[in-house]
Structure 1
Amino acid sequence: MEPVTVMSVGLDVGGTKTLGVALDETGRVVAQVRRPTDRGPAGVVRTAVEVVDGLRDATGDRLAVPVGVGIPGLVDGGLGIVRHAVNVGITGEPFPLGRLLSERLGVSVTVENDANAATLGAVAQTGHDDLVYLSIGTGLAAGLAFDGRLRRGEHGAAGEVGHIPVDPDGVVCGCGQTGCIETITSGSALAASWPVAQGHPADALFAAAAAGDPKAIAVRDRFAAGAATAIRILCLTVDPGLVVLGGGVAQLGEPLRIAVATALGDQAAEAPFLAALDLPGRLRVLPPDVPVAAVGAALVGTGR
């Protein structure tokens, strides 16, 4: 392929994979590279470097451009420090991901919480600047955009709705609490409740439920009810105009939106106050081929 001029690079670091994109001056994705995420501080850096090297090969550009990184956990963007990113194996002491990755790549690196980065990508994709982005990936977290600006919180914890306990008899979450929403609704929770020998558990579960399997229907509905609970909490707190479902599980597309919308409707069936808010009507799922989190990370890298 002919070399292209790349203006920014974005990395979406997840519990199972790291996706990198290169954007041109119009914001168009000109290359994508995906690698399995090596867990732990050193593994995350190593994987990120491999992805950027892959983008260099794919574009024919040396990529001397800003790099934005979206990663789960508590992030201090100003310092490029990550804490408590349990889904990628970063625990304990604050980890200076921005500085270490910048040294390895030789370019400026900006770090942001992955849900926040995806939120910026969702704003750019939908044209709505007042929204909540609910990321259902390895974990569960939300990004909040008000008038197109992120709300990160004093300690970078705004939107960590996955770590709100809702089931005192539930399982212990990776955060140390018991019965968090993330233990009910996340890629990890779904894989534990519907294990498969091959393929994606979410695809298998929803296919079995659509075929009428009673156990699959029960597991799907519990999963959807957890997402609906998270959305209800978020909407009653910040009342966004739009709720975008994202993350790996959202690759399901419309079946996921319908299941969650149905759960929201069920929860509001005997609550006129909730029904009047029309939470199901606010739901959107972006096309599965839109790498919204990586694109948002690239926007973070350029200071947008």
Structure 2
Amino acid sequence: MRIGVDIGGTKTAAIAVADDGSFGEPLRRATGFGAREVLDSAEASVRALAARAGLDVSAFTSIGVGIPGAVDNANGIVSHAVNLGVSELALGRELGERIGVPVRVENDVKAAALGAHRLTTDTLATASLEADRPALDRPTADGVGAASGNPVGGSMAYLNLGTGLAAGIVQQGVLLRGATGTAGEIGHLPIDPAGVLCGCGQVGCLETVASGSAITRMWPSRAEYPALELFELAAAGDARALAVQRTFFEGVAAGVRTLVLTVDVDRVVIGGGLSALGDPLLRGVRGVLADWSSSSPFLASLALSERVRLIPIGFPAAAFGAALVGVK
């Protein structure tokens, strides 16, 4: 049995993955702020999983951790995880010393990409992505929870729509990293020279129109979930909401187009917090891609809208992918 841990800005989720690929309900707890606190949260999550299973932590064969920031996956070091208050942490070594089990560390989006890739290589699971996106709240014998028996093939991009925007690219089961590990950072691809200033220091980045922070900026609101309010008002026909929503859809569609034109992936799976917007999001992005294709025979030949899918609600992509990282 192996462990996958997804360390987020506010919560840490951990799952235990059996040898047959099945997994149970994720265990969630608050993520501490600061290097020591993050390490403590990860350790507590692993020990809580062991206790829930009635096992000693030594029974786990490996631990994989997905975490935001710049990750030196070869040495298990995370740096510049600003939202976690971590400037640099040898997470792999220190957590391994505490637990006594080998630990591997990966960027959270890249870990989620591995999880989504394994999910979508399964024929039945792929079919479920095209259906009504049922919640996946328990392991199954032949679906998402039982991925280990399936061939890992094809190419996929995982487009993470969260506070920011980034992608993880997997080809034949292998992460595409690039020379410095920045492959997939399409959120910082400038698309509008007259756009707004991005947090990275550039102007008009894709992230400024296709992310949770972009919606918050374009749709100022006191609502707890501005994106949900935006979509509800757009569905009701509010003209301003429709305009902002269209800009957002175009940004996400531009991300899909970029991934297909640069890497020619078989499929683009949209995940992250905003994927919970569900079918309206998928229809909107596919609609924009269809509009663009109607005026471009070249884009039409690429069948862009047919390559886009949503991650199923409830599938712990980052934690599951982290468990896969742990066995590398």
TM-score, length basis structure 2: 0.82
The answer to whether the 8 A contact 1:133-1:244 is kept is: yes
Alignment of 1:91-102 (within 5 A): 91=87, 94-102=88-96
SS in 1 for 2:57: coil
Give the corresponding residue for 1:185. 210
Deviations 1:88-127 (A, max 9, x none): 4444xx4322223323333221111222211211122111
Deviations 1:187-236 (A, max 9, x none): 23223433554543332222221121222212222111111111111111
Among 53, 62, 68, which residue is 1:59 paired with? 53
SS in 2 for 1:104: helix
* One-letter identity of the residue aligned with 1:32: P
1:81 paired with 2:51, answer: no
Higher mean Cα deviation, 172-181 or 251-260? 172-181
Give the corresponding residue for 2:242. 217
1:146 paired with 2:140, answer: no
1:157 offset after TM fit, Å?
0.8
* One-letter identity of the residue aligned with 2:113: T
The whole-number CA distance in structure 1 between the counterparts of 2:44 and 2:207 is 30
The whole-number CA distance in structure 2 between the counterparts of 1:194 and 1:47 is 34
> Unmatched 5+ residue regions in structure 1?
1-6
1:252 paired with 2:288, answer: no
> Unmatched 5+ residue regions in structure 2?
122-152
Give the corresponding residue for 1:234. 259
1:300 offset after TM fit, Å?
0.6
The whole-number CA distance in structure 1 between the counterparts of 2:291 and 2:39 is 44
Among 36, 44, 64, which residue is 2:38 paired with? 44
Structure 1 residues 141 and 301, CA, compared in 2 at 3 Å: closer, same or farther? same
Structure 1 residues 14 and 114, CA, compared in 2 at 3 Å: closer, same or farther? same
Structure 1 residues 176 and 129, CA, compared in 2 at 3 Å: closer, same or farther? same
The answer to whether the 8 A contact 1:86-1:174 is kept is: no
1:68 paired with 2:64, answer: yes
The whole-number CA distance in structure 2 between the counterparts of 1:217 and 1:32 is 36
The percent of aligned pairs where both chains have the same amino acid is 49
Give the corresponding residue for 2:219. 194
SS in 2 for 1:298: helix
Higher mean Cα deviation, 187-196 or 152-161? 187-196
Give the corresponding residue for 1:203. 228
Matched residues, number: 295
Taking only aligned residues, the RMSD between alpha carbons, in angstroms, comes to 2.2
The whole-number CA distance in structure 2 between the counterparts of 1:137 and 1:14 is 11
